[in-house]
Amino acid sequence: MTIAGARAEARYALKQYPKLKRRQSENEQQITPVYGGTVVQRSATRVTENVALRTNLTEREENIISAVEFAIHMQSYYPNGNERLKMMEMVYFKRTHTLAGAAEVCHYSIDTVFRWNVEILTAVFVALKNKNL
């Protein structure tokens, strides 16, 4: 795969992450074990049915979630990790800024934010490829 293709795949994963996390949390909220004769919610009451319902996310979507969470975790090792996370949130999760706009908000040069972006995309792509082996 080319470098451009790898970055495009990582960008796609970062942009899909908020939607996938929302779906994952909705699934976890729906799946609450109910022990007893009365049903509190409209959900399955048996453990086997709960496990069957939990498989709403595909394996690829679960890999995307874990790869992006790995990249988020890796940012905590940098001294400016909070700014990196802020940049990720603005550019990929909320989609309110471009990289140049995020650089202005974080008070870093555009070159620095571009470098961060490449490092984040690389971390996501490597994590995605390691999951698919």
Residues 8-25 have pLDDT tens digits of: 999 999 999 999 999 888
pLDDT at position 104:
95
Q: What's the burial of 69, exposed, middle or buried (CB within 10 Å: 0-12/13-18/19+)?
A: middle
Could you tell me if residue 79 is inside a domain?
A: yes
The per-residue DSSP string of 82-102 comes to: HHHHHHHIIIIIS----HHHH
Could you tell me if residue 48 is inside a domain?
A: no
Could you tell me if residue 13 is inside a domain?
A: yes
* Mean pLDDT to the nearest integer, 70-81: 93
Could you tell me if residue 44 is inside a domain?
A: no
* Number of domains observed in the structure of the chain: 1
**What percentage of the chain has pLDDT greater than the value 70?**
77
Tokens 């970055």 correspond to: 7
Could you tell me if residue 111 is inside a domain?
A: yes
> Alpha carbon of 69 to those of 4, 15, 18, 26, 61: distances in Å?
22, 13, 11, 18, 12
Residue 84's domain comprises: 3-27+58-131
The alpha carbon of 131 is separated from its chain's Cα centroid by a whole number of angstroms, namely 14
Residues 19-58 have pLDDT tens digits of: 999 988 877 665 555 565 555 555 555 555 555 555 578 8
pLDDT at position 3:
87
Rounded to 10 deg, the angle between the 81-88 and 59-75 helix axes is: 140
**What percentage of the chain has pLDDT greater than the value 90?**
61
Could you tell me if residue 114 is inside a domain?
A: yes
Q: Does this model's pTM top 0.95? A: no
Alpha helices in the chain (DSSP H): 3-30, 47-53, 59-75, 81-88, 99-106, 110-131
Could you tell me if residue 40 is inside a domain?
A: no
